[in-house]
């Protein structure tokens, strides 16, 4: 196993950061590393908003459900899926942008995630810690107002960056054979994989909390997919131009 | 700039591979590196199907629009967004899965891309070349049949892996200041950024093709977003359980 793979396997979210700033040149390098990721049909559907204004940071922390590290991390980036830039390029060529295609939504959303993960690897290789903030989708319309996002752009997630002031454990994952399948989807492996992982996670939570947290993965999944989740997303996306044709 | 960032910046798609196989242990390591990526609410919404069967490979190559490296690469993986596994975990706890939420679709799609990009970095760190295959979305229903994908699972893209037998240039990207913005979305930077990049891409294409290809980014974008793109995606996703509530 080489050092890059060791780095990838050592990822954990960091939510407590030192006061040390990240200089702008380093931020630029991190974002340039993100740009180097693959992009479908060269769309380059990612725009990164670096939020420096303390009032905006405080507001976003609030909108993300009171995640204070959104305002206390050294750097906070919002990763936006952007087909506006391509639409403008299309218009330059006398073309007429075809809005609202589900496929464009997928391309841009995937582009953003590939780009962001490259940024994360670059940052972690420099000794920085990171935390993705999906909570921006709690109030995506208000987030879009704070960032002045135009139509055909939406905030997919945020990213906190800073020098770590904590050293949490790596979180266990599902067993490999419940995730990597051969030739066809094999439903028969799911039951054993979930059972094994539930046991693993139960002891992980117990150890981490001195026995206080008694949960496991399937309990977490019941809370996540056993009810409506951010039911505003559909209409928010529609209003933002992503009508899902 | 450290070696990890150099690796990230040196990415280019590889479409011609040597006959050298990738041993299964290496594939497992690459997928385990993918698992280590962040995942929203611990959903772990990624299932990877490693396609070994030569007939399936040939069929997928065809379905992806005749991309022969889908069948000639040493290894071919299909990255699927999967909320079925979580739904099953939810049911184990007596919960009732809430199907079709747009938010679950976003979480799983983003999870897949973060996971895949970690796999790509791991693979490239080992000297392998890769090519993402978004073309699987040309015929996603047929691809799903080949892979026997159940409801609540969809193929986001494929990934060819192998030892490179070509050494293409790194493709230029948009200028950083058209992609990284400060505090708010700044529409005023787009025009100059696109113009600069168009010029850059025109000379890149000319050089690469000995003057034959006369194009630029905005011409490409007109072809991509100036018309309907994979208009079947919406109904395919609906049929697959992703009704986008």
Domain ranges of chain B: 3-169+227-239, 176-214
The β-bridge partners of B130 are B161
Least Cα separation, residue A23 to chain B (angstroms)? 14
Tell me which CATH homologous superfamily contains domain B3-169+227-239: NADH Oxidase (3.40.109.10)
- Judge residue B172's burial from the number of C-beta atoms within 10 Å of its C-beta, 0-12 exposed, 13-18 middle, 19 or more buried: middle
How do the residues of chain A divide into helix, strand and coil, expressed in percent and rounded to 5? 50, 15, 35
Q: How many CB atoms lie within 10 A of CB B25?
A: 8
Q: How far apart are CA A215 and CA A194, in angstroms?
A: 13
Name every chain A residue with its beta carbon within 8 A of the beta carbon of B54.
Answer: none
Q: Hey, is the C-beta of A31 within 8 angstroms of any chain B C-beta? A: yes
Contact A81, A150 (CB under 8 A): no
Q: Hey, is the C-beta of A63 within 8 angstroms of any chain B C-beta? A: no
Token readout for A58 is: 């405080």
CB atoms B38 and A9 under 8 Å: no
Q: Which of residues 147-176 of A touch B (CB under 8 A)?
A: 147-150, 153, 156-157, 170-171, 173-174, 176
Name every chain B residue with its beta carbon within 8 A of the beta carbon of A117.
Answer: 37, 113-114, 117-118
Residue B164 is classified by DSSP as: B
Q: How many CB atoms lie within 10 A of CB A126?
A: 18
CB atoms B173 and A104 under 8 Å: no
Q: How far apart are CA A32 and CA A24, in angstroms?
A: 12
Confidence of residue A194 (pLDDT cuts 50, 70, 90): very high
CB atoms A226 and B97 under 8 Å: yes
* Nearest Cα residue in chain A from B196: A89
Q: Which of A48, A180, A194 lies closest to B50 in CB terms? A: A180
Q: Decide: helix, strand or coil at residue B160.
A: strand
The β-bridge partners of A76 are A160
Please give the C-alpha separations between residue A185 and each of A109, A223, B24, B116, in angstroms, as whole numbers: 25, 25, 18, 18
Contact A162, A88 (CB under 8 A): no
Angle at which helices A190-208 and B84-92 cross, to 10°: 70
Q: How far apart are CA B52 and CA A189, in angstroms?
A: 19
According to DSSP, the β-strands at B180-182 and A46-50 are parallel
Q: Hey, is the C-beta of B185 within 8 angstroms of any chain A C-beta? A: yes
pLDDT beyond 90 at A128: yes
CATH topology of domain A3-169+228-239: NADH Oxidase (3.40.109)
Least Cα separation, residue A192 to chain B (angstroms)? 11
- The residue-averaged pLDDT of A27-52 equals 98
Q: Which of B29, B134, B194 lies closest to A5 in CB terms? A: B29
* Nearest Cα residue in chain B from A82: B179
pLDDT of the residue at B243 = 96
Confidence of residue A1 (pLDDT cuts 50, 70, 90): confident
Spatial CA neighbour of B158 closest among B176, B137, B184, B181: B137
Contact A207, A216 (CB under 8 A): no
Token readout for A124 is: 């972690």
Please give the C-alpha separations between residue B38 and each of A9, B117, B198, B203, B226, in angstroms, as whole numbers: 11, 11, 35, 38, 34
* pTM value > 0.90: yes
CB atoms A233 and B118 under 8 Å: no
Q: Hey, is the C-beta of A114 within 8 angstroms of any chain B C-beta? A: yes
Q: How far apart are CA A122 and CA B6, in angstroms?
A: 9
Q: Hey, is the C-beta of B127 within 8 angstroms of any chain A C-beta? A: no
* Nearest Cα residue in chain B from A192: B89
Contact B190, A60 (CB under 8 A): no
pLDDT beyond 90 at A61: yes
Contact A142, A135 (CB under 8 A): no
Average pLDDT, whole number, for chain A? 97
Name every chain B residue with its beta carbon within 8 A of the beta carbon of A218.
Answer: 89-90, 92-93
Q: What is the pLDDT along chain B (245 residues), one digit of tens a residue?
A: 899 999 999 999 999 999 999 999 999 999 999 999 999 999 999 999 999 999 999 999 999 999 999 999 999 999 999 999 999 999 999 999 999 999 999 999 999 999 999 999 999 999 999 999 999 999 999 999 999 999 999 999 999 999 999 999 999 999 999 999 999 999 999 999 999 999 999 999 999 999 999 999 999 999 999 999 999 999 999 999 999 99
Q: Which of A52, A88, A121 lies closest to B8 in CB terms? A: A121
CB atoms B148 and A184 under 8 Å: yes
Residue B156 is classified by DSSP as: E
Size of interface A-B (CB pairs under 8 A): 365
Q: Decide: helix, strand or coil at residue B220.
A: helix
CB atoms A147 and B174 under 8 Å: no
- A197-223 as b/e, with b when 16 or more CB fall inside 10 Å? bbebbbebbeeeeeeeeeebbbbbbbe
CB atoms A9 and B36 under 8 Å: yes
Contact A131, A157 (CB under 8 A): no
CB atoms A234 and B245 under 8 Å: yes
pLDDT of the residue at B1 = 87
Least Cα separation, residue B234 to chain A (angstroms)? 6
Torsion on CA atoms A215, A216, A217, A218, rounded to nearest 10: -80
């Amino acid at each position: 196993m080489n050092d890059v793979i060791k780095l990838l396997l050592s990822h954990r979210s960091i939510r407590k950061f030192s006061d040390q700033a990240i200089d702008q040149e380093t931020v630029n390098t991190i974002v340039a590393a993100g740009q180097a990721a693959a992009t479908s049909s060269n769309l380059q559907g990612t725009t990164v908003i670096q939020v420096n204004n303390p009032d905006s940071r405080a507001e976003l922390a609030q909108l993300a459900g009171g995640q204070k590290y959104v305002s206390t991390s050294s750097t906070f980036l919002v990763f936006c899926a952007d087909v506006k830039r391509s639409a403008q390029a299309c218009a330059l060529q006398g073309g007429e942008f075809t809005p609202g295609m589900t496929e464009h939504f997928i391309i841009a959303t995937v582009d953003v995630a590939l780009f962001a993960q490259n940024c994360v690897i670059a940052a972690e290789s420099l000794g920085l810690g990171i935390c993705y903030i999906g909570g921006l989708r709690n109030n995506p319309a208000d987030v879009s107002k704070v960032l002045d996002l135009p139509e055909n752009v939406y905030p997919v997630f945020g990213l906190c960056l800073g020098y770590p002031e904590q050293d949490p454990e790596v979180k266990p994952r599902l067993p490999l054979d419940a995730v990597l399948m051969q030739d066809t989807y094999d439903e028969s492996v799911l039951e054993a994989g979930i059972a094994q992982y539930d046991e693993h996670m139960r002891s992980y939570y117990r150890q981490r909390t001195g026995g206080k947290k008694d949960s496991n993965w399937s309990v977490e999944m019941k809370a996540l997919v056993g009810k409506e989740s951010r039911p505003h997303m559909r209409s928010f996306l529609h209003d933002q131009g992503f009508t899902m044709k």
